[in-house]
Amino acid sequence: MGRLFWKFFFFILLAQVTAIIGISGTLWLKHSTEDKLIRSTNRQAHIALVVESAEIALQQGGPEALRRLSGNLRRFQVYVIDEHNLDILGRLVSLASIEKVKASIEQGPPSVLMRKVAGPDKQTYLIFFSSMEDAWGRGAPEHHPELAPGDRPPLFEHDGPGPGGPDREPPHGGDPGAMRAPGSYYPLIPVLSALVASLLFAALLAWYMSKPIRNLRSAFIELASGKLDTRIGNTMGRRRDELADLGREFDLMAGKLHVLMESQRQLMHDVSHELRSPLARLQAAIGLARQQPEKMEATLDRLEHESVRMDKLVGELLTLSRIEAGVTGANEEISMADLIAEVVENARFEAEVNHRKLEFSGDTEVIVLGKFELLYRALENVVRNAIKHTAEGSTVTMNARPDRENSSLSISVLDQGGGVPDAELAAIFEPFFRGSQITRAQQGYGLGLTIAKRVLMAHGGVIRASNGATGGLCVEIILPCKFP
C-alpha cells in the first residue's frame, strides 16, 4: 500500500467520521430536546389533571371526597388549604408558601397549578400543586416547596429551547429517571458500527482509487526500462472513468513509441549496414594499395570517391532526421510555381547531361504551407529518381494539376524505364530498399524516395507509385494547398 492509498484512506475516513459525528450529534441534540419537551408537556398535563381532579372532588364531595381521592392516588401532590391555612389532609405546609400562592393567584397570570375553589360547605379552599419546584425540574423536597412563581418564568416557556442553548444540562441531577429516558443517552453502538463501516468503505475507496494508479506506475516503470510492448490493457477491468481513460492514453502512447522506436531501430540497423558496404570497399582499396603500390594513384581516386559517397549518405541521413524536427516549426507560404520551376530547371540540366529529357506541363499557381527546403528536396528526389531510371534518350513527363474542390495539388512524374514489380511498389519508399531489377550503377542509397515520403507526410500530403500504362514508374504526389 503506497502513500497515496493511505492519504485517500485517511481523508475519506476523516470525511466520513466528521459526517458521522456531525449528523449523529445533531440528531442526538434534536432528539434530547424533543424528549425534554415531551416530558415536560406530559408532566404539565398530569399536574393540571391532578389539580383539576382535586378541584372537582372538592366541589362535588367536599373534603371527604378529596380524602378518598388522595387515598386512591399513590402520591397525592396537591395541597388543599382551607380558610384556616391548614391542609385538609393534615400535611405540613409553610405559611410563607401559602401566602406566596395566594399572592400569585391574585396578581400573577392564571395558572393550572393553583386555584381558589369554593367547596360545598361554602368554604373557600386554595388548591395548589405540592411541588412547584418539581414541576420546574428542581426536585424540591415534597414538604418544603420553595414556591416563587413570581420570580420564575412560566412553566412552558422555561422548558423550551431557551437562550442558554438546548444542550444545557439540568443544573443538578433532577429526577434521575428523567435522565434514563430511552434515546437520551449518546448512541455508542450505532456510532461504533458506523465507524467500522466507514473504515471499510474508506479502505475500499482508497484501494479503488489507488490501484489503477499503481498499475499505471508499474507500466511506466516497465516502459522506462525499455519494454515498449507494455500495455495497461485489461488491468483496468471494466472501469469507465478518467483513470481508465488515462490507461487507454498510456496504451496509445506506448504503441506510438513502440512504432517510432522500432522504425528508428530499423533505420539504425539499415544505416550501419549501408555504411559497411563503402567501408568494405575502402578496406579492399587500402589492401590493394598495400599489395600493389604501383597503382597508388588509381587507388587514391577510389578512396576519395568512396569517402565522398559516404559523406553523401550521412548527409541524407541527417536530412531524414531533420524532417521530423523541422516541419513542426513555423511554416511559410510557399509558391509552388517558384518551387516547381526551380526543381524542373535544375533537373532538366542534369537530364540533358545524361542524354535524357524532362517535360513539364500544368498549372502550379497555388500556395502550400510548409518548409521550402524540404519540399524542394522531396520533389527533386522524385524527379531525379525518374531521370536516373528512365531509358537513355527517353523523356520524363511531369504534370501538375490543381484540384480546387479538394484544395490540393497533384503532381505526377512518369518515367520511361523498366518500372517496378507490383509487389515492390510500396517498398520503394522504405529506407535502403533496393529494387530487384535495378543495377548497381542506377543505385543511390535508397533514401531519396524515403525522404520524399516523409516530407510529404509531414506536410499532410500523399505519395504513391504505380506502373504507367506504357511501362515505367509513375510517382504521384498529392499535396494540400491554398488558392491565391
Partner 1 sequence: MTKVLLVDDDVELVDMLKQYLEREGFEVAVAHNGEAGVAEALTGIYTIAVLDVMMPRMNGVEALRRIRGKSRMPVLMLTAKGDDIDRIIGLELGADDYVPKPCTPRELVARIRAILRRTQVPDQEKISDAVLSIGALNIWSEQRRAEWNGKPLELTSTEFSLLDILARNAGHKVSKNELSEQGLGRPLARFDRNIDVHLSSIRQKLNSLSGDRVIIQTVYRQGYMLIKE
Nearer Cβ to partner 1 (119/278): 278
Closest contact distance (angstroms) between CB of 303 and partner 1 is: 11
CA dihedral 170, 176, 181, 187 (to 10 degrees): 70
Q: How far apart are CA 391 and CA 354, in angstroms?
A: 10
Closest contact distance (angstroms) between CB of 434 and partner 1 is: 6
Amino acid at 218: S
Closest contact distance (angstroms) between CB of 275 and partner 1 is: 9
Sequence-ordered list of residues with C-beta below 8 angstroms from that of 422, at least 6 positions apart, any chain: 467
Nearer Cβ to partner 1 (179/280): 280
Closest contact distance (angstroms) between CB of 276 and partner 1 is: 4
| C-alpha torsion sign, points 362, 368, 372, 377 | negative
Closest contact distance (angstroms) between CB of 362 and partner 1 is: 36
Closest contact distance (angstroms) between CB of 436 and partner 1 is: 5
Instruction: Residue 330: count other Cβ atoms within 10 Å of its Cβ.
Output: 6
Decide: 16 and 202 in contact? Cβ < 8 Å. yes
Closest contact distance (angstroms) between CB of 287 and partner 1 is: 3
Q: How far is Cα of residue 28 from the mean position of the Cα atoms in its chain? A: 38
Nearer Cβ to partner 1 (5/432): 432
Instruction: Characterise 173 by phi-psi region: left (phi > 0), alpha (psi -120 to 50), beta (else).
Output: left
Closest contact distance (angstroms) between CB of 265 and partner 1 is: 13
User: Strands, E, within 119-247: which ranges?
Assistant: 124-129
Decide: 339 and 379 in contact? Cβ < 8 Å. yes
Question: Quick one: which of 154, 155, 158, 134 has its CA closest to 146?
Answer: 134
Nearer Cβ to partner 1 (360/429): 429
Q: How far apart are CA 137 and CA 430, in angstroms?
A: 99
Q: How far apart are CA 160 and CA 137, in angstroms?
A: 13
Amino acid at 26: T
Nearer Cβ to partner 1 (30/276): 276
Nearer Cβ to partner 1 (282/369): 282
Sequence-ordered list of residues with C-beta below 8 angstroms from that of 403, at least 6 positions apart, any chain: 409, 410
Q: Which residues bind partner 1 (CB under 8 A)?
A: 273, 276-277, 279-288, 290-292, 302, 434-436, 438, 440
| C-alpha torsion sign, points 177, 179, 181, 185 | negative
* Residues β-bridged to residue 358: 396
Nearer Cβ to partner 1 (85/283): 283
Closest contact distance (angstroms) between CB of 229 and partner 1 is: 21
Nearer Cβ to partner 1 (276/482): 276
Q: How far apart are CA 206 and CA 139, in angstroms?
A: 54
Nearer Cβ to partner 1 (91/309): 309
Angle between helices 242-291 and 296-326 in degrees, nearest 10: 170
Sequence-ordered list of residues with C-beta below 8 angstroms from that of 9, at least 6 positions apart, any chain: 202, 203, 206
Q: How far apart are CA 77 and CA 70, in angstroms?
A: 9
Question: Quick one: which of 111, 4, 9, 119 has its CA closest to 55?
Answer: 119
Closest contact distance (angstroms) between CB of 301 and partner 1 is: 12
Nearer Cβ to partner 1 (294/405): 294
Closest contact distance (angstroms) between CB of 347 and partner 1 is: 27
Nearer Cβ to partner 1 (282/367): 282
